[in-house]
Structure 1
Amino acid sequence: MISRKQLQKWIASGLIAATGVFVIINPLFATEVTSTNFKILDPVISMGGVKVTSSNFTVLSAFGQVSIGESTSTSYKVRSGFEYFPVATAPVLSATAGAEKVSLSWTASVGSLGWTVTSYDVCIGTSSNTYSSCTDIGNVTSYNATSLTAGTTYFFRLRAKTVFGVVIVRSNEASAVPTAAAAPAPSGGGGGGGGGAAISETAAAFSGFAYPRSLVVLLKDAKLAGTVQAAADARFDIKLGNITGGNYIFSIYSDDKDNLRSAILSFPVTVASGQTLTVSGVYLSPTITSDKTVVKRNDSIHIFGQTVPGSVVTVSIQSDPEQLVTTKADTNGVYSILFDSGKLSMGKHIAKAKSIYGSQFSLYGTAIDFEVGTETVLRKLAVICPQKGDVNNDCKVNLVDFSIAAYWWKRTLTNAAKTNVDAKLFPDGVINLRDFSIMAFYWTG
């Protein structure tokens, strides 16, 4: 039995709150409980395991976390709050080096579900993902970081915040190396015509993750600007030099090992003359497909694709309720899940994927649709034929094509041979080593 004196002490200390004929033990939990004579509204998830009861109501607490962020130990990890479940689009940050300064620009973060971004923090450091300071700069989309040391690499990241100062999403990381300030022009009398100062290159550089050994394509204002092959760990770096200063829309995409194309990432930026624009932290979304367009109810559907090796992939299947499945990509970046269609209602559904690797993460990529029905229909994967070397039109370059081309080795080509053979190699009217070199490049076996 609790004495009146003890009860008064608890109320005075804030440990409990008394109202009417019942007592609520603090803290409250993230739920809403109602009856004919009371209501508890509590938006705060608080740690606990307490059960509160009376003759006419019961409140069960929820396990949670006191603040937004990540809790870890040697045996578990809890992620909660807006850092891991953002309600706003991530700003796309770019950094342009200048004389002892770096000019930052970014796309505006757009909130959803009632959230509005009202200001940004600019975080700066000299090590990747480690920032020595974060400064609130208000609701703007550009900022100049000044008084920097020339020759030092600086790393930047944005934090988008609400009017209450809650961080709800972060940008990609961008880096740049400030240049030295120009030396003042010497004064004095005229002499001979000495040389002028060197003119810095105007360029744009991009780096990030695609797919292992995939061909990464860079577009400038929707036109091909360059390509580069990603490394075995899916990392890539590509630089476009000798451009003029101005406003551009750069876009990046890649095709995976099954010729599935990524969603296109676009970057509307301003490139200053004589400076290199650097955009790092590019992360192409996972590709995705399935083995069926229609799956018979209660049968499994195979959903797979490619992303960064070793990354954690989340597949979202839009249904009621939404189904989320997490898996890990293998050393080739391939991920795969077998999903039981019995968890889904009959009809059409959409699946999409995103991945996380360390502190880097992608957005959801291109979605696929499938249907849960009464029979199974297999999906036909698109076949992309080689651009050159396929002489007999079977979407392969192999010994058959080699034999056809070898027949015309240094022979006079007929009109049919020019159209069906030479035109698919090096169209110069003769079959020679140059044609076989092209065939070797596109060889499929």
Structure 2
Amino acid sequence: MAPCKRQFIIWLIFAVLINCTSVFLAANKALANDLLPTSVEILVSCGDGFVEIISGEVCDPGDPPGVPQDVGTTTCQDYYDVFSNPFASGIMACLLDCSDFDISDCYTCGNTNKEAAEDCDTGDFGGATCITLGFVGGSLFCTSECQISTANCEAMEEQGGTPGGGGTGGAPGGPIGYSPGDLNEQETKVVIRGKSYPDADVHILVDGVVTGIVKTDTKADFYFETTEIPSGVASFGFWSEDKDGLKSTLLSLTFRVTLGAVTTITGVYLAPTIDVSSKSVRQGDNITIFGQTVPETEVLIHINSDEEIIEQTNSKDTGEWQLVFNTEPLEVDFHTAKALFQIEAGGNIIKSGFSKSISFAISKQGGEAVCSEADLNHDGRVNLTDFSILLFYWGTDNECADQNQNGIVDLIDFSIMMYYWTG
């Protein structure tokens, strides 16, 4: 074979492989996300700094100074004074019970009406006089900052003269909130419930770091709780291993952990494990597809072909499942299979995500490959040397390179080699 032709085939193979893999992963991910039954329940506390609309909160006062309030985009300018004019200044706050906004710190200095955040406004001193402030007479004065000035008040002689022009008030105060420490005394907890495989270890990761490993019971249920996860958005990962050492796919979920509340994540269902009895079979022969999942559930196996074939079987009380499938309907080509389980809960059918895809080849002649497991040079490894040999015999009937023994070295043989690749 000419070098340029081989080079073209190499690029063609990699282009096809990368393109098909990308499309498959994107489709598989989208479908898995559609099927996931996971739900989150948060036992909220007013004052956690987040508006929980589902619990009827309008705003949240937070826990200053550690947890800021949450009033969204609402400002004092969105509310009106007694003259039906928008407030000009102030800091929007939230009532302590989260039921409504607190506008007590909103004001318009100069509108002649003393608001709660002001000492005075023009001639409105809110009932204060020089006498109520400890003087014997005189008149109060309201500054342009709406602060009271006692410069014109008359002091008693023993006071040593008239006080200077200082005011009794100050700038409008900050927002009202919980006293620091209220929420910190409440526990921030995460509770996770889900299903895997009977008597299996479930590995739980948070932001890529293992947080815990829990054992499932005989029904494949697991329970995990921790107070070690800080509040905020966290990425959770879950994987397990069945009795035969087959690993599940990694189930990734992202949730917000709420401060001072119990965040309960339920419906964390790991996909079934999957394997096949042979990587290459003759068309019309049986192939066994098997794995483990939740006990006594329905398992759906999707086999790709010109038209996708969906087969159904049931898992045993041990969670083991298998499907003996006759390959007569499949084309002579490279195929994949993947599985999910489904259960009925509350009158609804809930499905897990898909397992990984397992590959196998269908050939006309079948039989065992002369060079088993794609080790074409018999050195105990499958790497670029074997790949070069495969390309040398591309399009021929070389018995060693023809892994599926269908009479021609082609893309199916390359796919088989990729499965056994060691590097």
Normalised-by-shorter TM-score class = 0.3 to 0.5
Structure with higher strand content: 1
Q: Which structure has the greater CA radius of gyration?
A: 2
**TM-score w.r.t. structure 1 length?**
0.44
For CA contacts below 8 A with separation 6 or more, give which structure has more relative contact order: 2
Structure with higher helix content: 2
